[in-house]
Every structure is written in C-alpha cells, then in structure tokens.
C-alpha cells in the first residue's frame, strides 16, 4: 500500500527529472548543447554563432548550468563552457531520435531544407571505420579548426568548408573523399561534397557527425591538423 511518505518521494523525484526537461525547453539551449558537443566555447562565441545577445546567451547558459547540463571555467576575461558529461550528448541525441520518429512537422522541415540530399549515398560509421586507413580514401573534417583540434575522427584532415575551394589543388583526384561535420543536420559536409563533385572528385558525406562517432567508441584524435 502506498504511503504518504512514498507519494511525497515520487512528487519530489519527478520534480528533479522535470528540471532537466525545463532546462531543455528552449531551441537556443538545445543548439548551445549541440555546439558544446563539438568543443568548449566562450559565451561570446556561442552568442555570435546562434545570433543572440550576450546577455541572452548568459541567461540560457545559467539555466543549463543550474540543471547540471554544462560546466564553466573562467580564463582571463572570458568564461568557457563545456558539456557536463557524455550523458548530456546522449540525452540530446535521444531527443532528436524521438522527434525524428514522432514529429511529422520535423520530417517535412528536413525534407524541404535538404531538398535533393541523397540519404542513400551517405556513408555509415561502420562503413567508414572499415575503409579508414585503406590509403584510397581521405576523411575531411569540414568543421571550424577549433572544433577539429578539440577532437576529430582519427586520421581525418581539417579542411573547414570555407577554405575548401582554395585547397582543392592539394586534394588528389584519384582519392575518394568522405566529408563529415557536426551532425546529421549540419550543412558543412553537404557543401563540401557538392564542391568536390563539381571539381570531378568522388565524394560522399558521413551520415552522422563527430559526436556520434565519439559516442560509438570509434577512434578519435585530439590536436592540430595532421595531413594534406
């Protein structure tokens, strides 16, 4: 038989769970978490990329920190934020998967924005792992350099998408290229594949991004650029 004490416990228990849901109930906060899954970022960097004011970004980050989803450190005049743990990324990925399965509006939005994207041509993580190190394929990390240096697929070359045009001559035509970026809805890899194909090179994108690769336990490296 349920007691009043047990009922009180359940009420307080789910109140704590709801704190996480409340902290996630903001599009900007979810985007902040996606960016922090790539690398540590300053408040100013997050505000600039998401297009919100510094004060607004600080308020969102405070809510995430109070819910235990992010941690911060101060270095000089800047405050740097990072995810509180790998479980935070897993939580946001689970939210994304549920949304993909249950929300028709999301499906329509993605189809409209990525009109022409051929998902059948996307390379899976297992396939990429098998091909890596073959010598016939080059893995391109198309994210900003700071994100690459914070962590990247082992053996990948840093070629931010906005520098790819200038670096094409250094990319052999005999190779196959697999481009990846932040995740399934990041456009950097799509843009890189389009440019590579238009220059006569074989190219595909990775269906997932670096955080998914890392979460799967596949080989990663940290540090400066290695190749090409």
Give catalytic residue positions.
Answer: 181
- Look at residues 11, 29, 43 and name the one whose alpha carbon lies nearest to residue 88: 29
Q: How far apart are CA 201 and CA 171, in angstroms?
A: 9
Residue 190: Cβ within 10 Å count: 19
Using a 10 angstrom Cβ sphere, with 0-12 exposed, 13-18 middle and 19 or more buried, the burial of residue 159 is buried
Q: How far apart are CA 195 and CA 149, in angstroms?
A: 24
């Amino acid at each position: 038989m349920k007691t009043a004490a047990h009922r009180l416990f359940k009420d307080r228990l789910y109140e704590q769970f709801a704190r996480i849901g409340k902290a996630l109930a903001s599009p900007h906060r979810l985007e902040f978490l996606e960016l922090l899954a790539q690398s540590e970022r300053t408040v100013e960097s997050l505000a600039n990329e998401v297009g919100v004011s510094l004060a607004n970004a600080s308020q969102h980050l405070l809510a995430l920190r109070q819910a235990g989803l992010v941690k911060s450190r101060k270095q000089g005049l800047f405050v740097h934020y990072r995810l509180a743990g790998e479980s935070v990324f897993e939580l946001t990925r689970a939210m994304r998967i549920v949304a993909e399965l249950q929300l028709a509006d999301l499906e329509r939005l993605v189809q409209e924005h990525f009109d022409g994207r051929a998902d059948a041509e996307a390379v899976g993580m297992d396939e990429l792992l098998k091909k890596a190190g073959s010598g016939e394929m080059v893995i391109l990390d198309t994210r900003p350099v700071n994100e690459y240096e914070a962590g990247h697929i082992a053996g990948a070359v840093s070629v931010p998408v906005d520098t790819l045009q200038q670096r094409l001559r250094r990319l052999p035509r005999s190779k196959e290229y697999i481009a990846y970026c932040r995740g399934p809805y990041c456009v950097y890899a799509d843009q890189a594949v389009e440019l590579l194909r238009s220059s006569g090179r074989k190219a595909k994108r990775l269906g997932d991004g670096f955080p998914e690769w890392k979460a799967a336990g596949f080989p990663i490296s940290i540090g400066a650029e290695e190749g090409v």
